[in-house]
Amino acid sequence: MQKRELLYEGKAKRLYLTDNKDLVISEFKDDLTAFNGEKKSSEVGKGALNNKISTELFKLLEENGIQTHFVEMLDDNHMLHKKVDVILIEVIVRNIATGSLTRNLGIEDGTLLPFTLVEFDYKNDDLGDPKLNDQHALILGLVEYQDELDKLRRMARQVNDILRPYFFEKGLNLVDFKLEFGKDSSGNIILVDEISPDNCRFWDVESGEKMDKDRFRQGLGGLAVAYEQVLNRILSK
């Protein structure tokens, strides 16, 4: 499958058309951004690591009944997947308090939440990805029906129920993560984008070491090494 015209370029990926109108190719970039694009850098090999990690996790989720856009990994930096209409809602799943939840609500960093929290953000860089409630999402026309919002929450919890114990067995706490969804050519809501240390927070179970993009956000260094460790744990049996 050959990539054709550039369809879209985002912070972490370039999206290309193919000869098949229902399939596109994502090229995973080495670029790094944080704080809504205010902090920028790059890390050689980061894109390939995210592609490989996402490939393994999409396969795992598909095996457990979650529909995704994934078709196959073409090479280190390229993934073939279904073309979708992206729903402009970022679905945030939180198991442990940190980041904006700690800043905004004063919950102590590292607090285990009494239940898994699912939040919606408006996927809009110009507005800084603000928080959404259901009525906001419906007023903005981001979905057509309340049932679709309920499905996003349900699917997000299902993903968490699969990934959280999976990573714990690998010695990692899945602290929180961001999911994106879209509608395929049949109108089905499916999981899209990527699942990687760029949009998940992983803390080592024993040491508490951060193994995700917080290493870039907080200037800790060693980002590629941490991502590679996450990949190696995923590949270990």
* pLDDT score recorded for residue 22: 96
Is residue 124 included in any domain, yes or no?
yes
Residue 181 is assigned to a structural domain of this protein: yes
* Residue 118 belongs to a domain: yes
Decide if 232 is inside a domain.
no
102, 109 contact by CB (below 8 A): yes
Whether 99 is covered by a domain: the verdict is: yes
The predicted model gives 122-132 an average pLDDT of: 95
Range of the domain at 181: 85-222
> Are both 100 and 185 inside the same structural domain?
yes
Q: In the structure encoding, which two tokens stand for residue 180, read together?
A: 């994106």
Q: Does residue 101 lie within any of the structural domains?
A: yes
What is the reported pLDDT for 44?
95
Domain tally for the chain? 2
Question: 91 and 18 share a domain?
Answer: no
pLDDT of amino acid 36: 76
Please report which confidence band the pLDDT of residue 46 belongs to, taking 50, 70 and 90 as the band edges.
very high
User: Are 166 and 70 part of one and the same domain?
Assistant: no
Q: Please report the DSSP string for 30-80 in residue order.
A: -EEEETTTTEEEE-TTHHHHHHHHHHHHHHHHHHTT--BSEEEEEETTEEE
CATH classification at residue 140: 3.30.470.20
Boundary residue ending a domain (82, 107, 126): 82
194 and 105, same structural domain?
yes
Is 234 among the domain residues? no
Q: How confident is the model at residue 2, as a pLDDT?
A: 86
Domain of 14, CATH number, reads 3.30.200.20
Q: Is residue 230 part of a domain?
A: no
Which of these three, 30, 56, 82, is where a domain ends?
Answer: 82
What's the confidence (pLDDT) of residue 37?
A: 73
130 and 216 belong to one structural domain: yes
Q: pLDDT per residue over 175-193, tens digit each? A: 999 999 999 999 999 999 9
Rounded mean pLDDT of the chain?
A: 96
DSSP character string of 207-226? T--B-STHHHHTT---HHHH
The alpha-carbon radius of gyration of the chain (Å, integer) is: 17
Global pTM?
0.96
128 and 209 in a common domain: yes
User: Quick one: which H or E segment has residue 156?
Assistant: helix 146-169
Same domain, 89 and 69: no
For the stretch 16-32, pLDDT in tens is 999 999 999 999 999 99
Query: Are residue 51 and residue 78 in the same domain, yes or no?
Result: yes
Judge if 101 and 135 occupy the same domain.
yes
| pLDDT value of position 163 | 98
User: Are residues 67 and 124 located together in one domain of the fold?
Assistant: no
